[in-house]
Amino acid sequence: MDATDQKRLLREMLFARRFEERCAEAYHERQIGGFLHLYPGQEACAIGVLEKARPGSDYVVTGYRDHIHALKSGMDPKVLMAELFGKETGCSKGRGGSMHLFDPDVHFMGGYALVGGPFPLAAGFAKAIQLRGSDEISICFLGDGANNQGTFHETMNMASLWNLPVLFICENNLYGIGTAIERSTVEINQYKRVASYGIEAAQCDGQDIDVVMAHAEKAVQHVREKRKPYFLELMTYRLRGHSMSDSGAYRSKEEVEEWALRDPIGIYKRRLMDAGVLSEDIFHAMDVAVQDEIENEIVRFATESPEPRVEDVARYVYTEGGKQPWLK
């Protein structure tokens, strides 16, 4: 990877961080309603994995902490922010909000509020790919807190039995809402749990984007070439609470500070500076440009977009004629 791509990746992670921080501000300003689950601290996961896949072609499904997965899949950030603002120009016409992003045009097949809900959907997309005989893969992002659901085990069983081209990415941030993983799960290393299903699996550092990309490249290659499932566990940490209503009081100050030293943006920034690819001035200019784009293009678009019309309250509940674009 050359210096241009390295700086692009750093900018993508920085954009993700600033985008989420601006979402938090908008929530407090009451521009965003409903639930809001943010991604700071985990940027290397979604961006690193999808960098080695084919965003816009491969099918991506995830849980409700879904903004950055949607962006890296190719969703227009203006459209995403408009959805969070509940506007008609949003990807779900303002009806879905943060936990229900969806854009079939870039094969982002949704963030889902139901814990454990994405597993069978990802397997279903993989089965459709298999029947169609194309070379895409299905990628399912999941959290450690969902893995005690029955759908997890049922999906792993069928994905292995049917040799489905599906990549499971477990973003293990150590907590299921406010419950530490060791208090809810006997085997805390999630990648070991799929061994009984005959699925090849690995675990790696989810805070270092170079490490994530190296493991993701192997995982994607396995699924795309062997047409069999793979399970990759990324050890990561969310720097904010589970949602906007979560103070994070169940975590010690020392733990949070320790993980903050392993901020994925800080790790990659230092690496590029040590390699002579980046300077503080370049990074500062990058940060200013990112924040300017978010405020003056993305938030402005969302703010100025129209509200959904009252007379359209019952629209988009049922299909309105013809096949949907993702079924062609």
Give the confidence band of 322 by pLDDT, cuts at 50, 70, 90. low
Tell me the H-state helices in 74-208: 77-84, 118-132, 150-161
CA distance 283 to 127: 44
Mean pLDDT calculated for residue range 188-209: 97
Mean pLDDT calculated for residue range 160-168: 98
CA distance 325 to 319: 11
Beta bridge partners of 59: 138
User: How many C-beta atoms surround the C-beta of residue 210 within 10 A?
Assistant: 16
pTM above 0.85, yes or no: yes
For a pLDDT cut of 70, what percent of the chain falls above it? 98
Q: Kindly give, in sequence order, each residue whose CB lies less than 8 Å from that of residue 177, ignoring residues fewer than 6 positions away.
A: 145, 242, 246
- Burial of 166-188, coded b for 16+ CB within 10 Å and e otherwise, reads bbbbbbbbbbbeeeebeeebeee
- The answer to whether residues 143 and 112 touch, using CB atoms and an 8 Å cutoff, is no
Give the strand pairing for 179-180 and 175-176.
Answer: antiparallel
Q: Kindly give, in sequence order, each residue whose CB lies less than 8 Å from that of residue 218, ignoring residues fewer than 6 positions away.
A: 202
Cα–Cα–Cα angle for 139, 208, 140, rounded to 5 degrees:
10
Upper half-sphere CA count for residue 155 (Cβ side, 13 Å): 28
Per-residue pLDDT at 326: 52
Per-residue pLDDT at 324: 59
212-261 pLDDT, tens digit each: 999 999 999 999 999 999 999 999 999 999 999 998 999 999 999 999 99
Q: Domains of the chain by range and CATH? A: 30-266 (3.40.50.970)
Q: Containing H/E element for 21?
A: helix 3-28
For a pLDDT cut of 90, what percent of the chain falls above it? 92
DSSP structural state of residue 41: T
- DSSP, collapsed to helix, strand or coil, labels residue 280 as helix
Q: Closest by alpha carbon to 113, among 125, 126, 97?
A: 97
Give the confidence band of 328 by pLDDT, cuts at 50, 70, 90. very low
Mean pLDDT calculated for residue range 322-326: 58
- The answer to whether residues 179 and 89 touch, using CB atoms and an 8 Å cutoff, is no
Mean pLDDT calculated for residue range 192-220: 97
**Given a cut of 80, is residue 84 above it in pLDDT?**
yes
**Given a cut of 90, is residue 122 above it in pLDDT?**
yes
Q: Is the dihedral of CA 310, 314, 317, 322 positive or negative?
A: negative
Please give the single-letter amino acid code of residue 212.
V
Mean pLDDT calculated for residue range 61-85: 98
7-63 pLDDT, tens digit each: 999 999 999 999 999 999 999 999 999 999 999 999 999 999 999 999 999 999 999
**Given a cut of 80, is residue 85 above it in pLDDT?**
yes
Cα–Cα–Cα angle for 218, 220, 223, rounded to 5 degrees:
110
Q: Kindly give, in sequence order, each residue whose CB lies less than 8 Å from that of residue 30, ignoring residues fewer than 6 positions away.
A: none
CA distance 202 to 226: 16
Give residue 23's Cα distance to chain centre.
Answer: 16
User: Hey, what are 247's tokens?
Assistant: 């103070």
